[in-house]
Amino acid sequence: MSGHGLLDGKTGIIFGALTESSIAWHIAEACDREGAAFALSNAPVARRLGNMDALAEKTGSPVIWADATSDDDLADLYETVEEEYGTIDFIVHSIGMGVNVRKDQPYEDLNYNWYQQTLDISAISLHRIVHHALESDALNDGGSILSLSYIGAQRIFSKYSEMGDAKALLESITRSFGYRLGKRDIRINAISQSPTKTTAGSGIEGFDAMYEFAEKVSPLGNASAESCADYAVTLLSDLTRMVTMQILYHDGGFSSMGISDEIVEAMKDSFADDADDEENDA
Ligand code: NAI
């Protein structure tokens, strides 16, 4: 897609680009295409695990390594942002990790230290990032803040486990800050995205089933990371200046569906297989 200059003259910071598959990676590429200048940030450990430096080179962006659960790191981060850009117009929070989920610890038996880490990394980090932006006076009036959520915040997807709680908190923080930022015309929204094949996504047991189920239920199919990035651009642009405190489904229609013909057919096939098995057993 060619750019439309939707973010010409805007500056920002994008958290969470790890690899080429990361949603934040695609958002950074789309912001670059639309004329924005931005810094990239990720946890120091991501330097070893990913290749964000390549993205920084491609988009001509400075990199600021910061653990989004650390107040000291975030205070330092905004000092560097100020040196680079003065003040900024947008923040993208694309950070998440479910520690119990990764370690296969079931919801009924959560390790509470890991649970706290999950909430800290995946949700409270949004609060910290906004808090430090305000405290350092980094964000311009009329700015836009965006994070990434999942429908597991509202409905139970059995394998999503503690991450459903983390996303519910993230969405609540979005509303709580939205009220307070309104007096400066700053917007804050979350995109609730389809299952997407990324490092965070594939860390969830049963992810392939969640992905295929959503693909078969959604009238438009699953939304890709590229299309998510295009949607993100609109939310960072002035075109959506009156949209705030919203959880915006970017999911090919999944959130409005119950069952689709494809799932009905798949269930029929599975009933037929069960009947065959029973006959063979008899
Ligand atoms: P990803 O693994 O590429 O991105 C997650 C990022 O969080 C990584 O860059 C990682 O280094 C960063 N991170 C983890 N701990 C951190 C910390 N302490 N400080 C700073 N950064 C830290 O995966 P993806 O899928 O691009 O995730 C981005 C966002 O999209 C997350 O909020 C995720 O929950 C959300 N999302 C993902 C979906 C999916 O199916 N992949 C679906 C809906 C939402």
Tell me the backbone φ, ψ of residue 249, rounded to 5 degrees.
-75, 125
Which atom of ligand 1 is closest in space to residue 68's alpha carbon?
A: 19
Neighbours of 107 (CB within 10 A): 16
CA of 25 to the centre of ligand 1 (A): 11
Pocket test for ligand 1, best of 148, 160, 212 (most atoms within 8 A of CB): 148
- Closest C-alpha among 197, 116, 111, 195 to residue 159: 195
Smallest CA separation from ligand 1 atom 10, residue: 16
Q: What does the pLDDT profile of the chain (282 residues) look like in tens digits?
A: 889 999 999 999 999 999 999 999 999 999 999 999 999 999 999 999 999 999 999 999 999 999 999 999 999 999 999 999 999 999 999 999 999 999 999 999 999 999 999 999 999 999 999 999 999 999 999 999 999 999 999 999 999 999 999 999 999 999 999 999 999 999 999 999 999 999 888 888 889 999 999 999 999 999 999 999 999 999 999 999 999 999 999 999 999 999 999 999 999 888 887 778 787 876
Domain ranges for the chain: 11-257
* Chain centre to alpha carbon of residue 9: 24
Of all protein residues, whose CA lies closest to atom 34 belonging to ligand 1? 96
The catalytic residues are 150, 160
| Both tokens assigned to 61 | 């962006």
pTM for this one? 0.97
Residues 93-137 pLDDT 10s: 999 999 999 999 999 999 999 999 999 999 999 999 999 999 999
Structure tokens at 197: 């094949």
11-257 sits in which CATH class? alpha beta
Nearest CA to ligand 1 atom 30: 148
